[in-house]
Chain A
Amino acid sequence: MSDFEKYIKENQRKFDLDQINPKVWQTIEAEIKEKKGAILSLRNSLRLVAAVLICVFCFQWFGDYQKVNFPKHLLEDYGFKDSKVDELLDAKIITIREASIPVAYKGDLEMLLNQVTYLDQHFAEKINKLDLANTEVELLKEILEYYKTKSEILDRVINEIQKVNTNEKKYKIKSEKTKIRI
């Protein structure tokens, strides 16, 4: 037996671990858990960020999915520059909403706008069927015809408003003004 082995044997007792106070171990364990928690929260954060990004992507993709990409040649046939037809129509509606007109013409112009309501109601069902999966040309043409007619009616209303207001100035008529309900 070497000196080293002798030394180990003689001092065996000293090498035995004392019973550790459970609190010490708990503290150590808690520290480990905290560290683990730190790692988990980073993971969770990454997961959260990934989930948010996925949601944003899906929303964007779904939003794009909802927009129909009309073929360019069809758009041109119906007098539209691009697929942003809804935005074009909305801009015209805003113009009408913000315009002031003589009270005497309000009823007539609102009757003209009722034709837009009539078209909207007729085509509501067909619009619902319109999605990227449905590229039926006949349906696309029908929808574009509807948009075109709607655009023409709105243009007509805008022109009539301008005409009426111009004539009132021209013939020096001061009548009470109002807004159109649309």
Chain B
Amino acid sequence: MKKNIKSKVKKPRFEFKSLLLMGLFCLVFLSVSGQQREYKIEKEVSFPEEGSIKINAPKSVRITGNGTISTRQVGDQYIVSRKDNTPPIYKIHKKLVLHTWDKAIIKQVSSLTFNCKTPEEEQLLKEALSINLASNAAGVVEIDCELNIAKFQVENGWFKEENNHIVLDNGRICPIEFLSISTTLYVPVNSQIVIDAEDTDLLIDRHEGELELNAVGGSFTAKEISHLKGSLQFVDLNIEHIEKATLSLKKSLLQAKSIHQLHLESSLSKLEVNKIEKLEIAKSMNDQFSLESVNSIKASNSLYSHYRLGSCTESLEMTLKSGDVDIKNLAPSLKFAVLKNQNAQINLDVKSLESYSLLINSFDQAEYILPNDLVLTNSEDGRKAYTSGSNPEKTKLQIDCLHCEISIK
């Protein structure tokens, strides 16, 4: 009995000692383990005459390894950690800021925050990471926002020490505990740029050259873009002014204050533009257009897309199927409006028109509400022609809408 009591009494002391030792060990380990360091690397090169820039924007990290990995996007950061609630191992800032300047120089600045187990490993990492920035024979300067990192490796396990490291393009391995990268670029304002991006938030102030953007996910914010082209899926674009653009949009949002000229193919997208001079829609499927003021609009091959126009001032030519059209104001300067549609609702406000002619085809295959002051000039084979005002040739309206509900007021 005495022995048993003794052994029972002994046990708690043994457990307390081991806990205390473990606690001390952890403290020592933590103090010995590296602290986070911040480090900037930058490089600049001359921009060749008639050269171009190709930017590989920060993308989702290429990860390999053995063990538990959790990846998530929080705001503009792509985070890799062992598990959801454990400290991050890698952080890639997916916001890419492009500053433009008048110099014929390209500059890349990468801000790193990292943490290694030993000062030697820190030094190794500092020396190993570099920016590859050079012009190739074709005059293209390639910018890689992932520096010279080929992949990230994560290794952990139940009875395994964590062993995370990065593998560089040259095969060199650098152990790390934590690494975060964010990039800022400086490019000539009139350069030709091609950007490939994935879930990246791109910010650019003003660009006067040709900008090609191919992106999936993320956003693009700019003040002034001279010439924009590209293919965008699941991208939010917010641009104050675009001079000229040729875009292919899928499930994207384009918001702009003013666009001079836009050539568009889109689906499942939304366009919200204050003022657009010339809009040409080559193909549209289930889009929503909200345009405050349009000078000239031409839409062909538009299926299930809705159009809401504040005003149209010069010309309108739309061939639609099953797309509602609502135009609040046909301006007195309007030369012609030709609208072909089916199975849709059309609302046109003609109050501002001084004089106009109206030709309706397939009159008996649609429902119409027409202004009282229209004068019927011709009626045959389902076609009806009307005029209003003293100079009806000034503005010509033509509507051919099968099985539609049309209201002209």
A residues near B (Cβ < 8 Å) are 108, 111-112, 115, 118-119, 122, 133-136, 138-139, 149, 153, 156, 160, 163-164, 167, 170-171
- Determine if A118 and B303 form an interchain contact, defined as CB atoms under 8 angstroms apart: no
B206 is an interface residue with CB less than 8 A from chain A: no
Residues of A within 8 A of B286 (CB): 112, 115, 153, 156
A112 near B74 with CB under 8 A, answer: no
How many angstroms between the C-alpha atoms of A139 and B75 in the bound complex? 11
Q: Are A108 and B72 in contact (CB under 8 A)?
A: no
Is B304 an interface residue when CB atoms closer than 8 A count as contact? yes
- Residues from chain A with Cβ under 8 Å of B74 in the complex: 136, 138
The answer to whether B42 has its CB under 8 Å from any CB of chain A is: no
Q: Does B251 contact A (CB under 8 A)?
A: yes
Shortest beta-carbon distance from A160 to chain B in Å:
6
- Among B73, B234, B250, B322, chain A packs the most CB atoms within 10 A around the CB of B322
Complex contact B343–A167 (CB within 8 A):
yes
Cβ-defined contact, B73 with A156, below 8 A: no
Query: Which residues of chain B have C-beta atoms less than 8 A from A156's C-beta?
Result: 286, 304
B285 to chain A: which residues have CB within 8 Å? 111-112, 115
Main secondary structure of the interface of A (DSSP, over half): helix
With A108-B303, A139-B72 known as contacts, the answer to whether A115 contacts B321 (CB < 8 A) is: no
Minimum C-beta distance from A125 to chain B (A) = 11
User: Which of B251, B322, B365 contacts A149 (CB under 8 A)?
Assistant: B251
B388 interface contact, C-beta 8 A? no
Contact B322 A160 (CB under 8 A): yes
In the bound complex, residues from chain B placing their C-beta under 8 Å from that of A163 are 322, 343
Q: Please name the residue on chain B nearest to A129 by beta carbon.
A: B71
- Assembly CA distance A171 to B84 (angstroms): 60
| Pair B303/A115 contact, Cβ less than 8 Å | no
Which residues in A have their C-beta under 8 angstroms from that of B250? Answer: 118
| Pairwise interchain contact B303-A136, C-beta atoms closer than 8 A | no
Within 196-227 of B, Cβ neighbours of A (below 8 Å) are at: none
B251→A112 contact, CB < 8 A: no
Nearest chain B residue, comparing its CB with the CB of A136: B72
Question: Are B73 and A139 touching (Cβ within 8 A)?
Answer: yes
* CA distance in complex: A108, B403 (Å): 16
Of all chain A residues, which has the CB nearest B342? A167
* Given A133-B84, A153-B286, A171-B403, residue A112 in contact with residue B303 (CB < 8 A): yes
- Of A115, A134, A139, A167, the contact of B403 (CB 8 Å cutoff): A167
For B403, list chain A residues within 8 Å (CB).
167, 170-171
User: B300-349: which have CB < 8 Å to A?
Assistant: 303-304, 321-322, 343
- Asked if A108 meets B234 with Cβ closer than 8 Å, knowing A115-B268, A136-B74, A149-B251, the reply is no
Contacts of B321 in A (CB 8 A): 108
Is the pair B322, A108 in contact by a Cβ cutoff of 8 Å? Answer: yes
The residue in A112, A119, A160, A164 that gathers the most chain B C-beta atoms within 10 A of its C-beta is: A112
- Asked whether any CB of chain A lies closer than 8 Å to the CB of B52, the reply is no
Whether a CB of chain A sits under 8 angstroms from the CB of B387 is no
Contacts of A135 in B (CB 8 A): 84
When distances are taken between beta carbons in the complex, the residues of chain B under 8 Å from A115 are 267-268, 285-286
Q: A160-B343, A163-B343, A167-B403 are in contact. List 19 more A-B contacts (CB 8 A).
A: A108-B304, A108-B321, A111-B285, A112-B286, A115-B268, A115-B285, A118-B250, A122-B234, A133-B84, A134-B70, A136-B84, A138-B72, A139-B72, A149-B268, A153-B286, A156-B304, A160-B304, A167-B343, A171-B365
Tell me whether A112 and B365 are in contact (CB under 8 A): no
User: Which B residues touch A171, using CB under 8 A?
Assistant: 365, 403
Instruction: Determine the distance from Cα of A171 to Cα of B402 in the docked complex, in whole angstroms.
Output: 10
C-alpha spacing A163/B324, complex, angstroms: 13
Establish whether residues A112 and B72, one from each chain, have CB atoms under 8 Å apart when the complex forms.
no
- Given the complex, which residues of A lie within 8 Å of B304, measured CB to CB? 108, 112, 156, 160
Chain B hits for A134, CB < 8 A: 70, 72, 84
Q: How far is the CB of A97 from chain B (nearest CB, A)?
A: 19
Q: Which residue of A lies closest to B367 (CB)?
A: A170
- Distance of A146 from chain B, by nearest CB (Å): 9
Contact flags B282-296 to A (C-beta < 8 A → 1, else 0): 000110000000000
